[in-house]
Structure 1
Amino acid sequence: MARQANTLFLEEWLRSNSGNSGSNSGGDSSSSSSARAIIQAWAELRDTLTHQSFQPHHLQSLRILLDSRASLHVADPQAKLLLSILSARNLILPLEAYPLLLRLLYIWVRKSFRPTSVLIDSAVEVLSRLLTTEFGSKKTPELLSEGVLLLGAFSFVPSAAETTKKLCLELLCRLLEDEYRLVSPYDGLIADILAGIGYALCCSVNVHYVRSLNALLGIWGKEDGPRASISNGLMILHLVEWAISGFLKLHSQEKLLQFAEVLETLKEKGNPFALAMASGGVLRALNRSEPSGQAVQIVSRLRISAESCIESVARDLILNTRDVFNYSGDCTTSLMLRCISLALARGGSVSSRPPLFISLAAALLTEIFPLRYFYYRMLEATHDRTTRLDHNEIKEHLNSVAFREAGSITAVFCNQYVSADEKDKVIVENKIWGFCQELYSLHRQVALLLRGTEDELLRDIEKIAESAFLMVVVFSLSVTKHKLNSKFLSEAPNETSLSILVSFSCVEYFRRIRLPEYMDAVRGVVGSVQEDEASCISFIESMPSYTDLTSPHEFLQKVEYAWFKDEVQTARVLFYLRVIPTFIEHVPGHVFSRVIAPIMFLYMGHPNGKVARASHSLFVAFVSSGKESEERASLKEQLAFYYIQRSLAGYPDFTPFEGMASGVAALVRNLPAGSAATFYCVHSLVEKTKKLCSNVKADFWKNWQGESDPCKKLLELLLRLISLVDIQVLPELMKLLAQMIVELPKDGQNTILNELYPQVAESDDVTRKPTLVSWLQSVSYLCSQSESGSAVVKGTGNEESSPAKSSIWDRFIARL
């Protein structure tokens, strides 16, 4: 593959793919020295042979060269210089110099277009002596890792003799078998060790040596071997990917077959860590290749072997863990869940296997999104300061490879779900829905306790929760597509739909953006629920009760609780307020009255306009619903009285005008003709408008067109009602409007009349238009007879009210 050919320094590629960009002792610095400094450094190194002396400044010269490794080219003459220094009998080199000299030789062999076999043989001879006869006195972890890396690089050179390659492989195997403990504590050297193994794996010699070399991956199964970690595991994965890609590129079918034996050897030796990551590397390489001919069958066999191996790791983990979804303090289980999930995420397509499905679910809920652990630590800190959660622990998780791969892991998890056993599906579904419930409950507590005091900590934990929300949405969409759009539709999918809706309500707080997947999932489950009245009722009754919403709980004793400041709870209620209107016709009146109405009216007074508008929209949906019964009709009228009270009491402070206007319009359109609630609505609106108009500034009427004042909005609503209220209520509305208009200042009268003229003139209601024309003429006349605009109305207490004008008003009222 082209990828392998472009990997000049394998160890650097492994580090970059493992999320570990740290440098090793050999000098991976990206800094670059000047050309003059490089030339001077080589000159000083040549002086060591001339004067047969190695001084501290010569060590600095080596470091200068390695600091420019990205642009440094080591030619054959310079390689000979390095070999001469290493083999000089009279030179006493400090231990630090040996790894640096070997690294420069590594740069030479990797960057040389075609190093001569003679020089390679000479280098191997020097290296062999250093790593065998002299290694005991010069033994350091850095020398071992550089030696392994260089031996592997030599064995990978096409022009090297086969005997030389075999010598390199034998020495490399012996070094790792005997001295692997040297590098065990040093994670920074693992990439070099693995790169040396990788070069050797792709060596062109007999596969017998490849098989021996592959077995060296087993050092991760030894107690005193290298530390098993995510970073090291990912380097194993990508090392195997690199090697398999090389086999495929060279059409080395024999090596591909041998690699299946390597996996089986790791499996037999009980090395789950290396086995899982190596299997993931095999799958990644195979999924990115396009084999042909006889290689197709071999690739198929290798794929089956890799999938079987990683399945066995997952199965053993589940069997050996009491509850893979609920363990604590078990570092081995934690590491293996992350390894399995990352191996599958990076491996790509894999056939459905129950242990993999269960392991992925457990990994997501406990390791990728360890929210329960973080929440409990935070809550414990409120009682015991010694258990306080370190904020850096959350930051480290946000930057971890496992968390950054959450999307890929979720994708593999959902693919596994489609073909999973129905029993396993139900288990995992219930775990996901339970996770959502717990997420809501715990985050609500933490948010109320930390907001305003630990805002940065709260923001970071919410980043993890937001990613968990995306996982829940993608998984739920897979469930809806599978269960609600297939043969399972006839098997009562309502329970699943309800679970998804309730779960979405629990995680609604973390929905920061509008997701197509989210909307698709909601539409899918709502469509199922709204077809069944019992399901609708069940969903409604899953809402937190009015008492729960308004009463502080025990955990809130340390905070001053106000229901409208509870943002997590508000987001959940908002979800219900938006979903319930979609099936409002199937909601029985007594359920609406008992469960929904108290919450709806409570949240009409919420200071967040979006929430308040949703409450008004729910009222509109109920009043406008077509399913009519005596119980429902009676309830609509009863609620209309309180709706007007509640809306006007909060206007303009809390009640959003748009929400109230839609509610009033729905009320007057849908209540029976001549309804007492409609009369009450009209009277209440007029009284509220009068009160607001009495407090407007003097220039209010002159700036009418540019105003967005609450008073203006109510006046416009009243004028629109002329065209909306039924004929039985219209006379009362006209009478009240006339009285209010005449009481206005002259500028106000003219403004309102100017609004009314085109409205009446453009009306196409042949029933009420004649009445409105006559009424408008009378109101206009009354206003023209009034100087102050306030002395016309009989009984207003104005002693200067003229009998003539009162008589005009009485005749006007009589006509109405």
Structure 2
Amino acid sequence: MEQASETSDGIDHLALAGICHALACADELHFGRILVSLVRICGRIGDVGVAVRVLKLVDWLVSGFVESRRMRKVQVLFEVISPEKCESEGYVLFPAVMAACGGLRALRVASVRHRLDFAPRLKEAPERTIRFAARRAAVEGRPDDDQRRVLLQCVALGLTQCGPVASNDSVLRCVLMALLEELLPLPRLLRISVKSPDGNSAELAKNQVMQHQDSVLFKEAGPVTWVLCNQYSFADEKTKDYVETRVCEYAQELYHHLRAAVLLHQAKRNGLLAEIDKIAEAAFFMIVSFAAEVAKHRLDANSSGGFQPEVAVRILVEFSCVEHLRRLRLPEYTEAIRRAVVVNQDNAAASALFVESMPSCAELTTKPDLLTLDGTRYICYTDEGLFGTAPLHKSTLEQIHLGVAASPKSSLSCLASSFKNEKILWAYPGVTPFDGLASGVAALVRHLPAKSPAILFCIHSLVVKAKDLCSTAMIQDRSLWRSWEESTEPCKKILDLLLRLIFLADIQSFSYLLKELAEFVTSLPKEGQDVLLDDMHAHVAESDDVVRKPVLVSWLQSLSYISSQADVRESRNNAKNARSAGGVELSLNRTIARL
């Protein structure tokens, strides 16, 4: 549908070239008749490639008419493709909307290039046609309705060429549908890939994915996302809510279908996942760009609606569904997360809403399309979509899977509570209880949604346990810090795990982890502070994490300075009263909080 065959493409090109010449030379009467024939012929062909050439043809014609001051022909053109004419003549709409976009583009370019000021009614005419076509396309239709699909595609592609148009509810909905259903139709392609367990579905899906990557539709996904954001920024609250909900549903659907495809195809090495990944990355950028626009308009204290927790929750849910697709640190991603977290951090109901929105372990492993793929039953401890590739040991996961936990948060609660009883993995051959426990904690922290409350709970629990174990160990062994390197004490193992989490936790949980570590380190005696600072310097020096390393270097320098100053203050404060000591402690606490 998206590309005509070479033979028909050549014929169409020649026909359009001839029509273009005839239109340029014709008088008003014949101009209108030829234009009607053009719209009818292109409507019968039903091809996006032809529609794009119509846009370019009309752009060229209107530009020529403007330069030669033949504005009456421009008016006739817009009359031929007007909503009234389209309806009375029964046109197929996609050539008309592309002609409207081409004419509008020519007027905008001419107004800048030649400093012309066109009458508002002249510029309004093609926009009316665009709104009319968008309203028709935005009506929910059958998935196999090819005319509607082509119209969705053409409205979206045309709007990337003609520049901003007046905000309109139908235009926004049409662009949204085109983006989710036609330009980035990844859920539909993924459904095809898991439709049947034999190799045919994978090959069919791979061919369709590669064909889509080569299409003009996929190449224009970025500009259409810009159109979506632009239209969204001027929409009313009700329409904004509708669009946000649709994008959130798309992100969740993408997660579930992508997860199913990975489970089925990752071991087959058929190349399908590598091809899917390219479209998935584009879908990720679309979701992030739109979420940043939403955050800017709806999560600002000065916005008309004020802070809106339900909007913040939607953004966090979207990001939790696509976090695993993130390759780069994007300013839009960071800003949207920051705004969403600010809204939720002091709102217990919103935080609870986000936690509840996280799918439970049972939900993730009992959906019909995920139970049996290619003859294999995927349960909790083999589901890498949930737990990643880290070696979670079977006996720990059986504890979770058999009802100890119903959600990722409960899973972390289960693992954290296991510090009190490390017998959980004694039966697993060749693995110490702590190794299995550490592996499970690391895997969960690495793969839970960004800044999940469960991750923060896990980090906090580990720090509390580390404080408790270190206090006990220092009482029992006063030479603990001098023999730290060779130590097998539980407190050293816990601290090693905390340092390991620095490079595993998502970037949004990073600052919380550093704050907890800073508070813990500064609570230790000077000997312990020096040992742990040396350990952390070694970890950071060996790291190749380009995102975290610059932050960690600065953080360690500041923490080392605080540690040295605290030692100086301690000796000075021996001669001071309790009040001044309290002031120093308060100042130190504030410094740590800034860290």
TM class, shorter-length: 0.5 to 0.7
Give the secondary structure class of the aligned counterpart of 2:90.
Answer: coil
How far apart, in 2, do the equivalents of 1:657 and 1:247 lie? 64
- 1:597-628 CA distances to partner (integer Å, 9 max, x unpaired)? 34778675367799399999846963699xxx
1:236 maps to 54
**Structure 2 equivalent of residue 274 of structure 1:** 95
Q: Give a deviation string over 1:233-270, Cα, whole Å, max 9, x none.
A: 10111100111111122222222222222213445322
CA contact (8 A) 2:192 2:201 kept: no
- After superposing the two structures, state which structure 1 stretch, 376-385 or 606-615, moved more: 606-615
- Judged with a 3 Å threshold, the aligned counterparts in structure 2 of structure 1 residues 657 and 206 are, in CA distance, closer, same or farther, namely closer
Q: Contact 1:414–1:475 at 8 Å: present in 2 too?
A: yes
- For residues 292 and 237 of structure 1, do their structure 2 counterparts lie closer, same or farther at Cα, with a shift above 3 Å needed? closer
Q: State how many pairs are aligned.
A: 479
Q: Tell me what 1:195 maps to.
A: 17
Calculate the aligned-residue CA RMSD, in Å.
4.9
Aligned to 1:605: 440
Which residue is 2:421 aligned to? none
Q: How does 1:161-560 map to 2 (within 5 A)?
A: 186-203=8-25, 206-220=27-41, 225=44, 227-264=45-82, 265-271=85-91, 272-290=93-111, 296-298=117-119, 300-319=120-139, 323-324=140-141, 327-382=142-197, 389-485=204-300, 488=303, 490=305, 493-545=308-360, 554-555=371-372, 558-559=375-376
Using the alignment, how far apart are the partners of 2:145 and 2:568 within structure 1? 77
State the shift of 1:454 in Å: 3.5
Structure number with the higher helix fraction is 2
Picking from 386, 403, 407, the partner of 1:569 is 386
Distance, in Å, in 2 between the alignment partners of 1:620 and 1:610 is: 8
Q: CA deviation at 1:563?
A: 6.1
TM-score with structure 2 setting the length = 0.67
Structure 1 residues 593, 511: CA separation in 2 closer, same or farther (over 3 Å shift)? closer
Matched with 1:648 is 493
Cα-to-partner distance string for 1:743-796 (whole Å, 9 max, x where unaligned) = xxxxxxxxxxxxxxxx99x964756999xxxxxxxxxxxxxxxxxxxxxxxxxx
Q: How far did residue 292 of structure 1 move?
A: 9.6
Cα offset for 1:385? Answer: 5.4
| Most deviating of 366-375 and 452-461 | 452-461
Cα 1:292–1:541 shift into 2, 3 Å: closer
Distance 1:477 1:491 in 2: 17
- Aligned equivalents of 1:509, 1:470: Cα separation in 2: 12
Aligned 8 A contact 1:391 1:457 in 2? yes
Is the alpha carbon distance of 1:241 and 1:457 closer, same or farther for their aligned partners in structure 2, counting shifts above 3 Å?
A: same
CA distance 1:640–1:530, change in 2 (3 Å): farther
Distance 1:284 1:647, change over 3 A: farther
Q: Deviations 1:615-673 (Å, cap 9, x if unpaired)?
A: 99846963699xxxxxxx899869999xx8598289699956989997777557569x9
Matched to 1:210, the amino acid is: F
Name stretches of at least 5 consecutive residues in structure 2 with no aligned partner. 391-406, 418-436, 473-488, 506-512, 543-555, 575-595
Distance in 1 between the 2:123 and 2:416 partners? 57
- What's the offset of the Cα at 1:481? 1.3
CA–CA distance in structure 1, aligned partners of residues 124 and 227 of structure 2: 17
CA distance in 2, matches of 1:605, 1:312: 56
Q: Is the 8 A contact 1:395 1:460 kept in 2?
A: yes
SS in 1 for 2:346: coil
Higher RCO structure (Cα 8 Å, ≥6 apart) = 2
Taking the aligned partners of 1:318 and 1:612, their CA distance within structure 2 comes to 37
Alpha-carbon distance in 2 for matches of 1:288, 1:572: 53
Cα–Cα, structure 1 residues 436 and 349, in superposed 2: closer, same or farther, change >3 Å? same
CA shift, 1:307, in A, is: 1.0
The alpha-carbon distance between structure 1 residues 768 and 463, as it changes in their structure 2 partners (threshold 3 A), is same
* Residue identity opposite 1:522 in structure 2: I
Task: Indicate if the aligned counterparts of 2:193 and 2:204 stay in contact, CA closer than 8 A.
Answer: yes
Q: Are the counterparts in 1 of residues 186 and 280 from structure 2 also a CA contact under 8 Å?
A: yes
Give the Cα separation in 2 of the matches to 1:244 and 1:216. 18
Equivalent residue letter for 2:38: L
8 Å Cα contact 1:529-1:535 kept in structure 2: yes
AA aligned to 2:352 is I
Contact 1:381–1:388 (8 Å) recurs in 2: no
Higher Rg: 1
Question: Identity across aligned pairs (percent)?
Answer: 29
Which residue of the partner structure matches residue 590 of structure 2? none
Deviations 1:266-307 (A, max 9, x none): 453222121111111112212222169996344x32321111
Quick one: distance in 1 between partners of 2:305 and 2:469?
40
Structure 1 counterpart SS, 2:271? helix
Q: Distance in 2 between matches of 1:474 and 1:19?
A: 26
Give matches, 1:415-814, under 5 Å: 415-485=230-300, 488=303, 490=305, 493-545=308-360, 554-555=371-372, 558-559=375-376, 568-570=385-387, 597-598=413-414, 605=440, 611=446, 618=456, 622=460, 648=493, 666-667=519-520, 764=568
> Any idea what the Cα deviations from partners look like across 1:142-201, whole Å, max 9, x if unmatched?
xxxxxxxxxxxxxxxxxxxxxxxxxxxxxxxxxxxxxxxxxxxx3321111111222232
Q: Distance in 2 between matches of 1:437 and 1:659?
A: 24
Unaligned runs of 5+ in 1: 1-17, 25-185, 574-590, 626-632, 674-680, 690-703, 709-719, 725-758, 771-816
Distance 2:408 2:94 in 1: 56
Whether the aligned pair in 2 keeps the contact of 1:546 and 1:598 (CA below 8 Å) is no
From the superposition, tell whether residues 608 and 545 of structure 1 become closer, same or farther in structure 2 (CA, over 3 Å): closer
Q: Shift in Å at residue 220 of structure 1?
A: 2.7
**Pairwise CA distance, 1:215:** 2.0
In the alignment, residue 344 of structure 2 is paired with which amino acid? V
Alignment partners' CA distance in 1, 2:342 and 2:497? 37
Q: Give SS of 2:117's match.
A: helix
- Amino acid of the residue matched to residue 127 of structure 2? E
Aligned to 2:399: none
CA distance in 1, matches of 2:504, 2:138: 53
- C-alpha contact 1:607 1:654 (8 A) present in aligned 2: no
Contact 1:480 1:524 in 2 (8 A): yes
Deviation, 1:548, is 6.4
Counterpart CA distance in 2 for 1:253 and 1:206 is 13
Match of 1:32 in 2: none
Structure 2 Cα separation of the partners of residues 270 and 640 of structure 1: 83
The secondary structure found in structure 1 opposite 2:81 is helix
CA distance in structure 2 between the partners assigned to 1:670 and 1:551 by the alignment: 46
